[in-house]
């Protein structure tokens, strides 16, 4: 059921999903020709996104209905906190200091996306919250895996970014995420599932805007 449910969410979010995973930002990154300033700006805003992502997971802990869900969410928070430190180290490699990250102004695209996720969590339950963050996790796994399998230019400066999302550990984490979201939605009625689809599609559109933010900068 997992693959069918997730694939249905993706299919019904078209053409936005295609615009997300095949965005010019992604294509240029995979070819190693993305302007450095675009990548650096994306990294800075992604740091802010991860901050709010962790807030969303903290909210998920509050929304949990049993200890089993709490354990899964707790593990996700631990993984994210480790990822944030890696992100800080990665930013440093690209000339962005931790002090600069602490004083960033949020881009409107980041504000819109992260607050939408939090709003879904505040007004809904775990299913709504996880549907709002699903395109991020699932999409990055798809993008990382696809780019890693392409015949890209040698010495791609963005290869480390690609490798991190193509890694087995990230792919495994996303599979667990899919299982969790599927389980949350399995007993929902048609109206509730329609709302889950609307949230997933809207968040996918937000991901498109996030890539475009980097190119526009």
| Helical (H) or strand (E) element with 75 | helix 67-93
Q: Which residues are catalytic?
A: 136, 207
Tokens read off for 184: 């949350």
> What distance in Å separates the CA atoms of residue 15 and residue 114, rounded to the nearest whole number?
22
Q: Give me the residue label for tokens 């399995």.
A: 186
Cα separation, 193 vs 188, in Å, equals 6
CA 214 – CA 192 distance, rounded (Å)? 34
Burial of 217 (0-12, 13-18, 19+ CB in 10 A): middle
H-type alpha helices, 124-167:
126-149, 159-166
């Amino acid at each position: 059921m997992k693959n069918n449910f997730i694939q249905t969410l993706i299919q019904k979010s078209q053409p936005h999903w295609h615009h997300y995973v095949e965005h010019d930002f992604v294509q240029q990154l995979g070819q190693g020709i993305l302007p450095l300033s675009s990548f650096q700006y994306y990294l800075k805003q992604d740091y802010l996104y991860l901050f709010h992502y962790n807030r969303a997971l903290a909210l998920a802990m509050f929304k949990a209905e049993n200890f089993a869900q709490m354990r899964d969410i707790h593990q996700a928070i631990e993984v994210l906190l480790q990822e944030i430190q890696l992100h800080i180290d990665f930013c440093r490699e690209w000339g962005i200091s931790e002090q600069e990250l602490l004083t960033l102004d949020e881009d409107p695209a980041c504000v819109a996306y992260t607050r939408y996720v939090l709003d879904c969590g505040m007004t809904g339950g775990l299913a709504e919250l996880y549907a709002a963050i699903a395109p991020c996790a699932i999409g990055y796994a798809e993008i990382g895996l696809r780019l890693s399998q392409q015949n890209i230019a040698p010495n791609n400066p963005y290869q480390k970014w690609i490798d991190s999302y193509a890694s087995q550990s990230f792919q495994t984490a996303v599979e667990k995420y899919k299982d969790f979201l599927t389980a949350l939605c399995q007993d929902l009625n048609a109206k509730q599932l329609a709302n889950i689809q609307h949230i997933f599609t809207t968040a996918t559109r937000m991901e498109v805007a996030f890539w475009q933010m980097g190119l526009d900068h």
